[in-house]
A = this chain, B = another copy of it.
Amino acid sequence: MHEKRVLTALRTGGAMSRAELAERVGLSRTTVSEITGNLLTRGAIIVAETDAAVRVGSGRPAERLCLDPSSGQFLGVDFGHRRVQVAVADAAHEIIAGGVSRYADGTPWDERLEIAFALTERLARETGTHLGALQAVGIGVPGPYVGDQAGVPEISWNRSLAPRGVDTAFAERFGAPVIVDNNTRFAALAEAISHKSAVSDLVYVRLSDGVGGGLVVAGRLVTGGRGFAGELGHVTADPNGATCRCGKRGCLETVASTPAILRACRERGASVGSLDDLAQALARRDPAVEAVLREVGVTLGRVLGATAMVLNPDEVVIGGEIVHLAPVIVEQAAATLRFELYSIPAAEPVVVRAAQLRDSDGAVGAIAALFHQSPLLAEYAEAAPPAGSSPSQRRSTS
């Protein structure tokens, strides 16, 4: 916490001496010297100059310290089905480099890792960012990530899931501790802390190629007993519905994933092959498309309503590119959800809103998960150890 204040002072106040810093943050000079010594060693800050030029009187000139503008402190990586995103944040939590590399759907995971490494190192080169002082790496992956938990089987029906060992590969490459988790869960966390005052109870769902979710309960990300919490996409929305890739019928994903929505539009005669087509159909107020989106909103609102009845969240957040093109989904889901919560009195009804972060901000969500200053991460996860240290449990399940 003291370190954070020192870093904030340097970010907002520019270069200053240890004495000025001590006065500004209200800490003793001894404490400030300890903190800045550590930050210098880690490469988070640098000695900018001495104060000889501005100094009045005699005596040894004092060093002036400032943030190293080229030092990456936090690396965020987001693996999607067809692309990987990378973002680097500095000690002040500002994003200083970011980029994306695409790959074919179904690309093996060892290739995806190499693509991510190459992207990260290219970004560092191009932006003059050095990665020697990385404090931590956050990695979002599609679907649940079971890490090295004993006794948890892989999911056979979802071939895009990350294999065990992603954490170790990054820890070895960058010599920093690594947290890996489902990217939708990271997005939930990023939404919860996207306000000035963090929201402590939040339900997040993302409509994408699939439908995923994440929960923040009492200020903490929820993993569940076995690491599979938040699987809103496979809640049964209609026991007589379409067959899902998981084997059940009528999962929320069979109604509210982007492909399912586009398919439903086509079945009603709308010529909608892509999200762009959907946006155009909405612009010309295609009634079949409007009806489909309303129905999706109702189904989504029912599933979210049952979840909200059980968890009593402050906010319900709906993410995915489609909700930004078709806000009617959020509007209808909000109306249905509020009726589902009819039994519960509320001075202020639950907030239902579209996500603030877009799908293209996945790496930012992973970085948000690294900012341990957030009370939301207290006791959530222990980062994977850097290469060379002994293996330990990645995720707290107790």
Contacts and interface: CB of A to CB of B under 8 A. Distances in A.
Interface of A: 151-157, 199-201, 213, 215, 217-220, 222-232, 234-236, 239, 244, 246-248, 251, 302-303, 305-307, 309-314, 339-340, 342-348, 350, 379, 396-398
A343 B226 contact: no
So how many copies of this chain end up in the complex?
Answer: 2
B218 A155 contact: no
Given A218-B223, A305-B236, A343 B310 contact: no
A310 B398 contact: no
A348 B248 contact: no
Which of A314, A344, A379, A397 has the most chain B CB atoms inside 10 A of its CB?
Answer: A344
Given A218-B220, A224-B311, 10 more contacts: A153-B345, A199-B225, A200-B225, A225-B313, A226-B344, A231-B343, A234-B343, A235-B310, A246-B343, A248-B343
B151 A348 contact: yes
A342 B247 CA distance: 8
Nearest to A302: B236
Contacts of A223: 218, 312
B222 A217 contact: yes
B229 A312 contact: yes
A306 B309 contact: no
Contact of A234 (B154, B251, B344): B344
Contacts of A350: 225
A207 B132 CA distance: 59
Looking at A219, A225, A228, the one whose CB has the most chain B CB atoms below 10 A away is A225
8 contacts: A200-B225, A225-B312, A225-B313, A228-B344, A230-B312, A236-B305, A239-B302, A248-B343
Contacts of A342: 246-248
A313 B230 CA distance: 11
B151 A310 contact: no
A311 B222 contact: yes
Contacts of A312: 223-231
